[in-house]
């Protein structure tokens, strides 16, 4: 059975890109994994839903959500505030 979401990513290892895959049925877990990839500078190659590549608009939307989550987490950590206050003050999705 195919997982609902799959993410194909690359990571640089000794001057060669190693390709990895992440599979999940949870859209939130998918977004959190993509946020981790962005934070660590890994290459995001493809996002698939039910085995088919996401279209450009959907791909960009998922990456934007992941980037907002990453920014929100960093602001909360740096300022020692909760996500509700961060959302009120800075407007990132949490």
String of DSSP letters for 33-79: HHHHHHHHT-EEEEEEETTEEPPHHHHHHHHHHHHHHHHHHHHHHHH
Strand order through the sheet with 43-49? 16-24, 5-13, 43-49, 52-53
Q: Is residue 77 part of a domain?
A: no
Q: Is residue 54 part of a domain?
A: yes
Q: Is residue 94 part of a domain?
A: no
CB 24 within 8 A of CB 33: yes
Residue 3: per-residue pLDDT: 75
Specify the DSSP element, H or E, that contains 18. Answer: strand 16-24
- Distance between first and last Cα of the chain: 31
d(CA 25, CA 49): 9
Q: Is residue 44 part of a domain?
A: yes
Q: Is residue 9 part of a domain?
A: yes
pTM of the model: 0.84
Count of domains observed in the chain: 1
Q: Is residue 59 part of a domain?
A: yes
Residue 1: per-residue pLDDT: 58
Residue ranges of the chain with per-residue pLDDT less than 70? 1-2, 93-94
Structure tokens given for 89: 């003050």
Domain with 51, as residue range(s), is 5-66
Residue 16: per-residue pLDDT: 84
């Amino acid at each position: 059975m195919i997982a609902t979401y799959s993410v194909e990513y690359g990571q640089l290892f000794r001057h060669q890109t190693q390709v990895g895959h992440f599979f999940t049925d949870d859209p939130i877990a998918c977004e959190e994994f993509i946020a981790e990839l962005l934070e660590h500078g890994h290459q995001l190659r493809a996002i698939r839903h039910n085995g088919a590549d996401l279209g450009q608009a959907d791909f960009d939307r998922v990456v934007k959500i992941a980037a907002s989550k990453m920014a929100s987490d960093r602001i909360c950590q740096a300022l020692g505030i909760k996500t509700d206050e961060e959302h009120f003050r800075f407007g990132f999705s949490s």
